Homo-oligomer: A and B are copies of this chain.
Amino acid sequence: MVLPPLSLDRTAGSLSRQLYDGLRVAILAGQFRVGTRMPSTRALAASLDVSRNTVHQAFEQLILEGLLEGRQGAGTFVAEMPRGIPIGPGAGELSEPRGRRLLSQQGRAIRDVAAKWPEPIQLPGESRGRAFGMGAPADLFPTSVWRRLLGQCWDALSRARGLGRAEHEPLREAIAEHLGTTRGVRCTPDQVIVVSGSQQGIALTATVLLDPDDSVWVEDPGYFGAHTAFVGWGARVVPVAVDDEGLSVEVGQRRAADAKLAHVTPTHQFPLGKTMPLRRRAELLAWAQAADAWILEEDYDSEFRYSGAPLAALQGIDPNQRVIYLGSFSKSMYSGLRMAYLVVPRDLAPAFRAARQVVGGPPPVLEQAVVARFLSEGHLDRHLRRMRRVYAQRQRCLAESVGEQLDGLLRVEPDETGMHLVGWLRAGVSAEEVCRRAAAEGLELLPLSSYRARAGPEGVLLGFSEVDERALRHGVSLLRKALV
Smallest distance from the beta carbon of A380 to chain B beta carbons, Å?
Answer: 12
Q: Name the contact of A107 in the complex, choosing from B208, B336, B347 (C-beta under 8 A).
A: B208
Q: Name the contact of A164 in the complex, choosing from B135, B200, B357, B364 (C-beta under 8 A).
A: B135
Q: Name the contact of A28 in the complex, choosing from B94, B154, B317, B351 (C-beta under 8 A).
A: B317
Q: Name the contact of A66 in the complex, choosing from B65, B277, B357 (C-beta under 8 A).
A: B277
Taking a contact as CB atoms under 8 Å apart, the answer to whether A84 and B354 are in contact is no
8 residue pairs from A and B, CB less than 8 Å apart: A14-B309, A57-B309, A98-B320, A106-B207, A107-B207, A200-B361, A228-B358, A232-B355
Q: What 1/0 flags go to A206-234 for Cβ under 8 Å of B?
A: 01111100100000000001001100100
Beta-carbon contacts under 8 Å, A340-366 to B: 345-348, 350-351, 354-355, 357-366
A34 at the interface (CB under 8 A from B): no
A98 to B85, CA, bound (A): 61
Stretch at the interface among A279-287, A403-411, A440-448: A279-287
Taking a contact as CB atoms under 8 Å apart, the answer to whether A208 and B357 are in contact is no
Enumerate chain B residues within 8 angstroms of A281, measured Cβ to Cβ.
Answer: 82, 85
Taking a contact as CB atoms under 8 Å apart, the answer to whether A64 and B196 are in contact is no
Smallest distance from the beta carbon of A304 to chain B beta carbons, Å?
Answer: 15
Taking a contact as CB atoms under 8 Å apart, the answer to whether B317 and A86 are in contact is yes
A61 to B183, CA, bound (A): 12
**A291 nearest in chain B by CB position:** B99
A300 at the interface (CB under 8 A from B): no
Taking a contact as CB atoms under 8 Å apart, the answer to whether A138 and B110 are in contact is no
A10 at the interface (CB under 8 A from B): no
Interface pairs A-B: 3 shortest CB-CB: A66-B278, A336-B365, A114-B354
Beta-carbon contacts under 8 Å, A85-114 to B: 85-86, 91-92, 94-95, 97-108, 110-111, 113-114
Taking a contact as CB atoms under 8 Å apart, the answer to whether A84 and B337 are in contact is no
> Contacts A317-B28, A348-B103 given: A16-B309 contact, CB under 8 Å?
yes
A106 to B138, CA, bound (A): 40
Q: Tally chain A residues at the interface, Cβ within 8 Å.
A: 132
Binding site for B on A (CB under 8 A): 13-14, 16-17, 20-21, 24, 28, 57, 60-61, 64-67, 79, 81-86, 91-92, 94-95, 97-108, 110-111, 113-115, 117, 128, 135-136, 138-139, 141, 143, 146-147, 150-151, 154-155, 157-158, 161-166, 181, 184, 186, 196-197, 199-200, 203, 207-211, 214, 225, 228-229, 232, 260, 275, 277-279, 281-283, 285-286, 289-290, 292, 307-309, 311-312, 317, 319-322, 334-339, 345-348, 350-351, 354-355, 357-367, 381
**A115 nearest in chain B by CB position:** B354
Enumerate chain B residues within 8 angstroms of A181, measured Cβ to Cβ.
Answer: 13, 17, 21
Q: Name the contact of A351 in the complex, choosing from B24, B103, B141, B357 (C-beta under 8 A).
A: B103
Enumerate chain B residues within 8 angstroms of A339, measured Cβ to Cβ.
Answer: 364
Taking a contact as CB atoms under 8 Å apart, the answer to whether A337 and B364 are in contact is yes
Enumerate chain B residues within 8 angstroms of A99, measured Cβ to Cβ.
Answer: 289-290, 292, 320
